[in-house]
A and B are shown apart, each in its own frame.
Chain A
C-alpha cells in the first residue's frame, strides 16, 4: 500500500473498523441504497427513453429556436403562414428559417401499417424529400418493414422511400419526412439564429429545448416521471440521514470517549463522513451497475435510454444528496460532551 493511501485510510480509522464490525447493519443500509439507486437508474433511463420517443424529431433539428403562431404555443394548434416564414428568413440575425408542417397519419406498406408523424419540410432541412419521395426514420422503416427504394402509402398517396435515416420520434410515433410541396401554411418555423432577434409579427419564438413543453404528451409524462425521480432522491437522502442519525446517537458514548482522549471534532466528523461516503458510493455504484445491466437487457422492448447522462448523473445526485443527509446527521458529533465519558454513567 502506498503511503498516501495508507494515510487516507488512517483518516477513517474508526469508521472502517465500524463498517467491518457492524457488518449486518451496514449491509442492510447498503442494500437499501442499492435498491433506491437501481430504481432511480431505471426510472432515469425510462424517462429519457420515453422522452426521446416524444421529442427526438425536434431535438435533432439542426436549429436553435422554434417560432410558433403567437396565439398557440403548441405543436398541435400552432399555424404559421408563408408570409411569416419569408419575413423570418429576411430578419437580420437569422441564417435559416424553414417551415415544418406536422401531422399524424397512417402509413401502409404491403400488409403492414403504422401510425406515423409526418414532418413536411423543404430539402434545406432534409435533402432527400421531393415530389413522390419521402425519408423514413429508422423506427418508421422498421415498423413498416421497408427499405430504401420501397413504396409506402401515406394518406392515399404512393411514395418512394428515398432514404432511411435517424432515430426520429414525435409524440410516441416514428417520423416520416415528406416534401412541403406547395403548402402556404405550416405548424412552426425552425430558426437558426445568431444573437437576439425581434419576433416577426404574429409569431412567438422559444428555444428549441423550451419548445418541448409545447408537446402535450411530453409535458405531462416527463413532468410526472421527473417528480417521481425527485421524490426518490429526497427519500434516499432522508433514509440515509435517518440511518446515520440513529447510528451517531448509538455511538455517542464512543464519541465522548474519543473527545475526552483529545480527538478533535474535525477528526471525528471526517471519520464519520468518510464512513457515510464509503457506504453511499459502494451502494450507488452497485445499484447503478444493476440499472445499466437491466437497461441493456430491456432496451429492445422498452424505450430505455442508456447513456452517461441517464446513468451517471442520477448516481452522482444520489451520492451528493445522501452525503448532505449524512452530514446533517453526523453534525450532532459537535455537541457530544466529552465529560460524559467520565464516571460510571454512560
Chain B
C-alpha cells in the first residue's frame, strides 16, 4: 500500500464545539491505481486531501505515505516528504506567472536540489507525456485552461511521487476536456505507478478510475451500485 489513511478523524473549531470534517476515515490506495472520492459540497473532500497531503495533521489516526508515517514529523520533514513522495494536482492550476511551462516543472527540481540539466530533460519528457511538447516555452497566460491543467498534472509528477493527490481537476473545464484530463490522470497513474486519489463532486468522468468511494459528512461509504463506474471492475484500458 502506498497511501494509507487509518481511522483518521479531523475536526475544526466551530464556535464552542468542534465540527467533524473527517470521521474515522480509513482508505488504502495501492500504487498504479486511481481511487475517486466523490461527495457533495462540504462533505470533507478537501479535508481528506489536505490530510493525505500532510498539510493538516489529523486529530487522531495515521497517514502513511509509502511506508512512512507522517505523524510526529517536523514541518521541515513533512515538506521533504511532500517534495519527494507526493504530487499534488491543484483545483486551480496554480502556475507561477513568471515561469514558462517547462520551468513550472523545473522549479520542482530546484526545490529538491536536482541537477538543472536533468531537470530540463525530465520536464520536456513530461510535457510531451501530457501533449504539450510544443508549448514548453509558453507562460501561463499564453495557455488555455485545459493546457494549464495539464501543466499542473505534469508538475505533480516531476519528482516521481509515489502518491498523487488530485483536487477537483475538472471543475474549470468543459465536459470533453474534463474527461480528457481524468483519462490522462488514470493513464499516468498506471505509467508512473502512483497511488492516486482523485477528489471530485462530478460523477460524469468516473468510468476510467479503478475504485470509487463516496464521502458524506466526513464518513466514507462504498458507492451505491448504480454509481458503480465500471461494472466489470477495474480500469478501462
Report which A residues bind B (CB closer than 8 A): 6-7, 10-11, 13-14, 17-18, 20-22, 253-254, 257-265, 267, 338-339, 341-344, 346
* A346 lies within 8 A of B94 (CB): yes
Q: How far is the CB of A25 from chain B (nearest CB, A)?
A: 11
* B49 lies within 8 A of A342 (CB): yes
Q: How far is the CA of A341 from the CA of B53 in the complex (A)?
A: 11
Given A263-B79, A342-B90, A342-B91: 19 more A-B contacts, CB < 8 Å: A6-B116, A13-B106, A13-B110, A14-B99, A14-B107, A14-B110, A17-B103, A22-B98, A254-B96, A254-B97, A257-B90, A258-B96, A260-B90, A262-B79, A267-B111, A338-B55, A339-B50, A339-B55, A342-B88
Q: How far is the CA of A263 from the CA of B75 in the complex (A)?
A: 11
B197, CB-defined interface residue at 8 Å: no
Chain B contributes a number of interface residues (CB within 8 A of A) equal to 39
Q: How far is the CB of B45 from chain A (nearest CB, A)?
A: 9
- A-B contact count, CB below 8 Å? 94
B106-129 interface bits toward A, Cβ cutoff 8 Å, 1 = contact, 0 = none = 111011100010000000000000
* B90 lies within 8 A of A341 (CB): yes
* B92 lies within 8 A of A346 (CB): yes
Q: Within the complex, which residue of B46, B80, B88, B156 is in contact with A264, where a contact is CB–CB below 8 Å?
A: B80
* B98 lies within 8 A of A21 (CB): yes
Q: Within the complex, which residue of A14, A17, A342, A344 is in contact with B53, where a contact is CB–CB below 8 Å?
A: A342
B211, CB-defined interface residue at 8 Å: no
* A344 lies within 8 A of B92 (CB): yes
What are some 29 contacts across the A-B interface (CB < 8 A)? A6-B116, A10-B110, A10-B116, A14-B96, A17-B103, A20-B98, A22-B98, A254-B96, A257-B94, A257-B96, A259-B79, A260-B82, A261-B108, A261-B111, A262-B80, A262-B84, A262-B86, A263-B79, A264-B111, A339-B50, A339-B56, A341-B88, A342-B46, A342-B50, A342-B88, A342-B167, A344-B92, A346-B92, A346-B94
Q: Within the complex, which residue of A7, A10, A260 is in contact with B55, where a contact is CB–CB below 8 Å?
A: A260
* B contact residues around A264 at 8 Å (CB): 76, 79-80, 83, 111
Q: How far is the CB of B62 from chain A (nearest CB, A)?
A: 19
Closest A residue to B76 by CB, please name it: A264
* A contact residues around B50 at 8 Å (CB): 339, 342
* A contact residues around B92 at 8 Å (CB): 344, 346
Q: Within the complex, which residue of B84, B91, B111 is in contact with A263, where a contact is CB–CB below 8 Å?
A: B111
* B contact residues around A344 at 8 Å (CB): 91-92, 168, 171
* B contact residues around A253 at 8 Å (CB): 94
Q: How far is the CA of A260 from the CA of B76 in the complex (A)?
A: 12
Closest B residue to A343 by CB, please name it: B46
* A263 lies within 8 A of B90 (CB): no
B187, CB-defined interface residue at 8 Å: no
* A343 lies within 8 A of B96 (CB): no
Q: Within the complex, which residue of B80, B91, B107, B171 is in contact with A13, where a contact is CB–CB below 8 Å?
A: B107
Q: How far is the CA of A339 from the CA of B55 in the complex (A)?
A: 6
Q: How far is the CB of A24 from chain B (nearest CB, A)?
A: 13
Q: How far is the CA of A253 from the CA of B82 in the complex (A)?
A: 18
Q: How far is the CA of A258 from the CA of B159 in the complex (A)?
A: 13
* A contact residues around B103 at 8 Å (CB): 13, 17
Q: How far is the CA of A264 from the CA of B78 in the complex (A)?
A: 9
Q: How far is the CA of A264 from the CA of B116 in the complex (A)?
A: 18
Q: How far is the CB of B16 from chain A (nearest CB, A)?
A: 24
Q: Within the complex, which residue of A17, A257, A263, A267 is in contact with B98, where a contact is CB–CB below 8 Å?
A: A17
B141-170 interface bits toward A, Cβ cutoff 8 Å, 1 = contact, 0 = none = 000000000000001100100000001100
* B contact residues around A267 at 8 Å (CB): 110-111
Q: How far is the CA of A265 from the CA of B171 in the complex (A)?
A: 30
